[in-house]
Amino acid sequence: MAEMLQLLLFVLASLCVCVTSNQVAEPYVVYMGSALQGGDHEALQAAHLQMLSSVIPSGEEQRVSLMQSYHYAFKGFSAMLTETEATLLSGYDDVVSVFPDRMLQLHTTRSWDFLDAESHIGSHQLPHKAFGSTDVIIGMIDSGIWPESPSFNDAGMGPIPSRWKGTCMEGLDFNKSNCNRKLIGAKYYNAQLGSIQPSSNGSLAKQNAFGTPRDPIGHGTHTSSTAAGSMVSNADFYGLAQGVAKGGSPTSRIAMYKACFLDNCPLSTILKAIDDAINDGVDIISISIGTVSHLQTDFLNDPLAIGAFHANQRGVLVVCSGGNEGPHPFTVVNTAPWILTVAASSIDRIIRSTIVLGNGNMLKGYAINFSNLSRFESYPLVFGRDAAIGATLVSEASNCRPGSIDTIKVDGKIIVCVNVGVPVTRNTKILAAQEAGAKGLILIDDLQKENSFYSGDFPFSQVGKDAGTQIFKYMNYTKKPTAVILPSEDVKEFKPAPTVADFSSRGPGGVTEGILKPDLMAPGVNILAAGVPNIVTVPQGKKPSNFVFMSGTSMACPHVAGASAFLKSAHPWWSPSMIRSALMTTAITTNNLGEPITSYLGANATFHEMGAGVISPLRALNPGLVFETTVEDYLYFLCDYGYKIQAIRSISGTNFTCPSSSPDLISSINYPSISIAKLERKVMMRGTRRTVTNVGPPNSTYIATVDAPNGIKVIVTPDRLTFTRRWMKATYLIVFNANSASEGYGYGSITWSDGAHTVRTVFAVNVV
């Protein structure tokens, strides 16, 4: 009987599986490799529909339709498929991969709950300086754009380059006159996933997620102005961070591809945006979007990687944020070798919010607040734990979880909270404190403290454990502890800077350790750039600010896109890999104290944290030598990674053949950094090869110096390279010997110098 029951349950269970997997159609992306340049798009779409009808049963013809059609740089489509149909399609000869459509997230640390407001359009134009014009076009794949921002003023810019094929799509609240010679294109897409629907009820911001290129949340406006915003003098955020705002390449053009709906960005739409951007004629694509690291897939199931590969094939550089899951290792995403992956650093300006304790001690906290309190006032201090309401767990009250704090015990006081147990965001803690009538909030938490939280006019300050101990000590030994939180002030020339942002995702890459990722680092903490009106709280009696602070690798990525545009405008013939190489080999690894850049809790930063270092666009203008990575190199990489030759041929669109295999060639692709995923101590040697191209003076001689970690011997042969003309190439061999090294990753660098240029290649070697 029991067996019968078991059998029955088993049958039922498998029935359920069948029913769900066979009947529920979900959005999938079908990727079919490289497209012919100037191919017949209509014929291609017809063929794709034909394919769909061959797997979709009759009676469900309504699903024989392409939600997105990719046909410019690569072939494929997205459609509603059942799992069985998707499996059938993946067996087709000309199909490279089929994968479920998913949502990716914007890489800002600012969360959606922080942003909520009714939106009004405000356009307040500030004076600006005129510039000459160049023809570099940056395609931004993001949440949209706020065209009225003074950062997108086009005064002084020349006519739009004639090769530009993009459009300025009109929408609910966006018309052709919103584009200009700075913002030359703006495109939006229809939402494809069932989970996001236009809402007629809700804030204007939420309605604006659809049917317009306008940015409802401020992310795309911020990143665009960072990459290529025009000069705006007197930019500030209510008096903080006053100065001139400008993008990395103020003379470049911006084209916005709005692929996100609020902060959700479907894979299928990102892929479409990349295809369009390539076809429209952009030079550089900036994508501050990614998956969470544990959902990473291999390169041919990752649409961002697929799109970026084809962009590269057409000479377009793709720059991506590496994610905000630091300081944990193996969290960096967007790590394909043809993507320029960016980590985030701090800058030398911090926003400080001082706490004055009743005993006169002053503690330097971090926050952006416009507290109206002065140092001549003081308010009772109470620890959240001691203000728990009724039967609430004290840990919840310590954490300032909403509903856990007793209004009677908190009203009119400054509450002290920590971050324990289930995380409660800073915004939520502040709302809980405000609701309980608190006069202010002091948060003791090292995580994210550098990335100053903006609390409007509510007095707020965040300190680390050390200052926290002082506060607790004072509270424990004082009968009536008091404190006051002063309004924020910005501190310039703060030292040490830069540091690796705690939140910045770390390498090694989870998909392959044969490539060192992230590639490099750029500012991403408390970045002031163009904002969307009324998204952040406006302090009482003030007008909405044109500029706002944001943090994240999202903010670091457009710094690199802008720097790349700057290099491209100086060296129009440089390929994407040459631009990347110039930025990496000239990057800086020391801070403004002349010491090594540090990371979480003050440790020396490794190359898995900061890549080759912080970008220095001026040094990158004149790198001396560059490492060129060709499309063929990337195809070899795909061979070594283990993809089938059939798939690699589809991707390349050629009769490419993989060389006969030899182990772990990935480390040998001509990349401007080196990663050896496994260096066995017993195996005496491991060699890898690099080729440099002279882009400096025709006659020059470079000499190599090596900075190797303890126990690892590095030999470079030859150690002298002589060039007699421009574009001349030279190849050298690097041999690693880990005879006496300890296990785990060791870091070092090889530097070529001719006296005038230094070309540094960083390496990471994993000794096993």
Please identify every residue annotated as catalytic. 142, 219, 554
* Nearest to ligand NAG of 131, 656 (CB atom): 656
* Residue corresponding to tokens 């970045």: 527
The DSSP symbol for 322 reads -
Q: Give the CA dihedral 614, 617, 621, 625, nearest 10 degrees.
A: 10
Near ligand NAG by CB under 6 A: residue from 58, 162, 655, 662? 655
Is residue 152 within 8 A of residue 180, CB to CB? The reply is yes
In the numeric block, which tokens belong to residue 741? Answer: 């090294």
Is residue 492 within the footprint of ligand NAG (CB under 6 A)? no
Near ligand NAG by CB under 6 A: residue from 482, 488, 606, 673? 488
Angle between helices 645-652 and 631-641 in degrees, nearest 10: 160
Binding to ligand NAG (CB under 6 A): which residues in 275-334? none
Is residue 37 within the footprint of ligand NAG (CB under 6 A)? no
Q: Find the shortest distance in angstroms from Cβ 125 to ligand NAG.
A: 12
Near ligand NAG by CB under 6 A: residue from 58, 62, 162, 201? 201
Is residue 654 within the footprint of ligand NAG (CB under 6 A)? yes
Is residue 687 within the footprint of ligand NAG (CB under 6 A)? no
* Nearest to ligand NAG of 156, 539 (CB atom): 539
Can you tell me the distance from the alpha carbon of 319 to that of 378, in angstroms, rounded to the nearest whole number?
49
In the numeric block, which tokens belong to residue 446? Answer: 């090292």
Near ligand NAG by CB under 6 A: residue from 65, 592, 657, 699? 699
| SS3 assignment, position 386 | helix
* Nearest to ligand NAG of 238, 566 (CB atom): 238
Q: Find the shortest distance in angstroms from Cβ 17 to ligand NAG.
A: 35
How many angstroms separate the Cα of 601 from the Cα of each of 60, 225, 327, 596, 747? 58, 31, 10, 14, 19
Q: Find the shortest distance in angstroms from Cβ 442 to ligand NAG.
A: 14
* Residue corresponding to tokens 């930063």: 605
Q: Find the shortest distance in angstroms from Cβ 476 to ligand NAG.
A: 4
Strands (E), 46-145: 68-70, 74-81, 97-100, 103-106, 137-142
Is residue 198 within the footprint of ligand NAG (CB under 6 A)? no
Is residue 698 within the footprint of ligand NAG (CB under 6 A)? yes
Helices (H), 116-209: 204-207
Can you tell me the distance from the alpha carbon of 399 to that of 444, in angstroms, rounded to the nearest whole number?
10
Can you tell me the distance from the alpha carbon of 346 to that of 342, in angstroms, rounded to the nearest whole number?
13
* Nearest to ligand NAG of 217, 605 (CB atom): 605
Cβ neighbours for 202, distance < 8 A, ≥ 6 positions apart: none
Can you tell me the distance from the alpha carbon of 639 to that of 642, in angstroms, rounded to the nearest whole number?
5
In the numeric block, which tokens belong to residue 3? Answer: 């067996």
Near ligand NAG by CB under 6 A: residue from 64, 193, 227, 240? 240
Near ligand NAG by CB under 6 A: residue from 124, 129, 492, 542? 542
* Nearest to ligand NAG of 202, 687 (CB atom): 202
Can you tell me the distance from the alpha carbon of 536 to that of 545, in angstroms, rounded to the nearest whole number?
9
Near ligand NAG by CB under 6 A: residue from 22, 87, 175, 590? 175
| Nearest C-alpha neighbor of 355 from the set 451, 478, 472, 436 | 472
Q: Find the shortest distance in angstroms from Cβ 173 to ligand NAG.
A: 8
Cβ neighbours for 361, distance < 8 A, ≥ 6 positions apart: 470, 474
Q: With 0-12 CB in 10 A as exposed, 13-18 as middle and 19+ as buried, what is 74?
A: buried
Is residue 731 within the footprint of ligand NAG (CB under 6 A)? no
Q: Lay out the site mask for ligand NAG across 575-614 (x = CB under 6 A, - = otherwise).
A: ---------------------x-------x----------
Can you tell me the distance from the alpha carbon of 460 to that of 429, in angstroms, rounded to the nearest whole number?
10
* Nearest to ligand NAG of 206, 571 (CB atom): 206
Q: With 0-12 CB in 10 A as exposed, 13-18 as middle and 19+ as buried, what is 273?
A: buried
Near ligand NAG by CB under 6 A: residue from 177, 661, 662, 710? 177
* Nearest to ligand NAG of 418, 563 (CB atom): 418
Near ligand NAG by CB under 6 A: residue from 135, 142, 457, 633? 457
Near ligand NAG by CB under 6 A: residue from 375, 465, 473, 492? 473
Q: Give the CA dihedral 417, 418, 419, 421, nearest 10 degrees.
A: -100
Q: Find the shortest distance in angstroms from Cβ 604 to ligand NAG.
A: 4
Is residue 502 within the footprint of ligand NAG (CB under 6 A)? no
Residue nearest to ligand NAG (CB): 239
Can you tell me the distance from the alpha carbon of 256 to that of 176, in angstroms, rounded to the nearest whole number?
13
Can you tell me the distance from the alpha carbon of 716 to that of 747, in angstroms, rounded to the nearest whole number?
16
Q: Find the shortest distance in angstroms from Cβ 593 to ligand NAG.
A: 11
Q: With 0-12 CB in 10 A as exposed, 13-18 as middle and 19+ as buried, what is 386?
A: middle
Q: Find the shortest distance in angstroms from Cβ 353 to ligand NAG.
A: 9
Is residue 662 within the footprint of ligand NAG (CB under 6 A)? no
User: Binders of ligand NAG: how many residues, by CB under 6 A?
Assistant: 27
Is residue 632 within the footprint of ligand NAG (CB under 6 A)? no
- Buried residues in 512-535 as b, exposed as e (16+ CB within 10 A): bbbbbbbbbbbbbbbbbbbbbbbb
Is residue 54 within the footprint of ligand NAG (CB under 6 A)? no
**Cβ atoms < 10 Å from Cβ of 745:** 20
Q: Find the shortest distance in angstroms from Cβ 541 to ligand NAG.
A: 8
Near ligand NAG by CB under 6 A: residue from 238, 460, 549, 574? 238
Can you tell me the distance from the alpha carbon of 613 to that of 607, in angstroms, rounded to the nearest whole number?
7
Near ligand NAG by CB under 6 A: residue from 58, 62, 162, 476? 476
Candidate segments 108-116, 172-180, 510-518, 701-709, binder of ligand NAG by CB under 6 A: 172-180
Candidate segments 68-76, 151-159, 232-240, 300-308, binder of ligand NAG by CB under 6 A: 232-240
Is residue 351 within 8 A of residue 488, CB to CB? The reply is yes
Q: Lay out the site mask for ligand NAG across 81-120 (x = CB under 6 A, - = otherwise).
A: ----------------------------------------
- The residues that touch ligand NAG, with contacts defined as CB under 6 A, are 175, 177-178, 201, 238-240, 370, 372, 457, 469, 472-473, 476, 487-489, 539-540, 542, 596, 604, 654-655, 698-699, 724
